[in-house]
């Protein structure tokens, strides 16, 4: 059996798309929890560096790794790079997303549909295949996907995204059963609408309308999602697997 963690015994967490939005909040929270955090990003090197700087200035440990997590060769290189720099991946947070098409049925192309499945089914498979062998050997691992309430709501005009988010939940449930005996847990956190940089164009009125429909009468914050991930990544969640935790103020209760 391998020991978990980096050379200092810290649990190592990989957060895909950790350079901004929810991923950045998750990376900072897991680092504050005492983990050594691998921040993956795709194109925005400056944003990734900024998250790493914030984590280091707070006295915690982080490194940045550029890779397109939908590409098999780049995922293999990412895994090798993290292993060489940090020694392990004990917690895998599947968070990265690209643009999400707004298109009604007649206007939706198969390529657009496929691109969503590359993010939410292919990339999780590639990353799980890269990291699970070591998790199995050490008898410990945490896989946490960031899903969406959109799957439960069946958001119209977003069927490619919704379908791919459904695939993510299906993987979570099958993998939880498959990996149950190994000490690896697999769960999904499903946020509601949480404004990040990419939602700059969403009007105040639309934000207020959404918030008014949330039982807790507010929009979520990236830290709300990070807190749920922190719990699932912690020893306190050792007997929780195959679950979907909605972080949306009760919007889908
Ligand atoms: N925010 C919400 O309202 C909301 C609601 C429900 C669910 N979610 C889910 O939460 C997750 C994060 O969403 P977000 O709103 O925080 O997104 P975001 O702010 O747009 O951030 C996306 C992140 O993914 C990275 N990324 C994009 N393509 C990548 C690729 N091919 N390989 C590696 N990294 C890549 C980006 O890196 P670069 O910038 O370097 O390209 C960035 O760090 C997603 O799974 C999303 O579906 C979000």
For the stretch 196-223, pLDDT in tens is 989 999 999 999 999 999 999 999 999 9
Residue in 14, 96, 127 to alter for ligand 1 test, most ligand atoms within 8 A of Cβ? 96
Candidates 41, 119, 161, 236; catalytic one? 161
Distance 41 CA to ligand 1 centre (A): 9
Residue identifier of the C-alpha nearest atom 46 of ligand 1: 97
Q: Is residue 209 part of a domain?
A: yes
Q: Is residue 2 part of a domain?
A: no
Distance 146 CA to ligand 1 centre (A): 9
Dihedral angle of Cα 57, 62, 68, 72, to the nearest 10 degrees:
180
Distance 74 CA to ligand 1 centre (A): 18
Q: Decide if 161 is catalytic.
A: yes
Residue identifier of the C-alpha nearest atom 18 of ligand 1: 21
- Identify the domain containing residue 107 by its residue range: 12-247
Report pLDDT for 2: 64
State the total domains in the chain.
1
Pair 115, 38: CB distance under 8 Å: no
Distance 93 CA to ligand 1 centre (A): 12
Q: Indicate which CATH number applies to the domain containing 109.
A: 3.40.50.720
Contacts of residue 48, defined as CB under 8 A and 6 or more positions apart, other chains included, come to 18, 19, 39, 41, 64, 66
Pair 146, 225: CB distance under 8 Å: yes
Q: Give the integer Cα–Cα distance in Å for 144 and 95.
A: 8
Report pLDDT for 135: 97
Q: Is residue 195 part of a domain?
A: yes
Residues with CB under 6 A from ligand 1: 16-17, 19-23, 40-44, 47, 68-70, 95-98, 146, 148, 191, 193-194, 196-198
Which atom of ligand 1 has the smallest separation from the CA of 71?
A: 31
Q: Is residue 5 part of a domain?
A: no
pLDDT in tens, 217-236: 999 999 999 999 999 999 99
Residues of the chain with pLDDT under 50: none
Distance 23 CA to ligand 1 centre (A): 7
Report pLDDT for 4: 83
CA 57 from chain centre, in angstroms, equals 24
Q: What phi and psi, each to the nearest 5 degrees, are found at residue 181?
A: -70, -5
Q: Is residue 3 part of a domain?
A: no
Pick from 118, 116, 122: nearest CA to 102: 116
| Helix axes 72-86 and 123-138, enclosed angle (nearest 10) | 30
**Rg of the chain in Å (alpha carbons):** 17
The angle at the Cα of 11, spanning 6 to 16, to the nearest 5 degrees, equals 100
Q: Is residue 6 part of a domain?
A: no
């Amino acid at each position: 059996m391998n020991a978990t963690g980096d050379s200092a015994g810290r649990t190592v967490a990989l957060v895909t798309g950790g350079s901004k939005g929810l991923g950045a909040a998750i990376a900072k929270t897991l680092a504050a929890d005492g983990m050594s955090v691998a921040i993956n990003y795709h194109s925005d090197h400056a944003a990734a560096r900024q998250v790493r700087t914030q984590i280091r200035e707070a006295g915690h440990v982080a490194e940045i790794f550029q890779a397109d997590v939908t590409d098999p060769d780049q995922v293999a290189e990412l895994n090798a790079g993290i292993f060489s720099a940090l020694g392990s991946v004990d917690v895998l947070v599947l968070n990265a997303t690209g643009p999400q098409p707004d298109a009604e049925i007649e206007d939706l192309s198969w390529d657009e549909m496929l691109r969503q499945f590359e993010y939410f089914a292919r990339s999780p498979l590639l990353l799980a295949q890269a990291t699970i062998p070591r998790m199995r050997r050490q008898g410990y691992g945490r896989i946490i996907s960031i899903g969406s309430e959109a799957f439960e709501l069946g958001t119209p005009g977003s069927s490619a995204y919704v379908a791919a988010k459904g695939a993510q939940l299906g993987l979570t449930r099958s993998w939880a059963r498959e990996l149950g005996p190994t000490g690896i847990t697999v769960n999904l956190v499903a946020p509601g609408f949480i404004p990040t940089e990419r939602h700059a164009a969403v009007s105040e009125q639309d934000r207020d309308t959404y918030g008014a429909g949330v039982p807790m009468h507010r929009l979520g914050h990236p830290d709300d999602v990070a807190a749920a991930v922190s719990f699932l990544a912690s020893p306190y969640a050792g007997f929780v697997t195959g679950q979907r935790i909605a972080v949306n103020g009760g919007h889908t209760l």
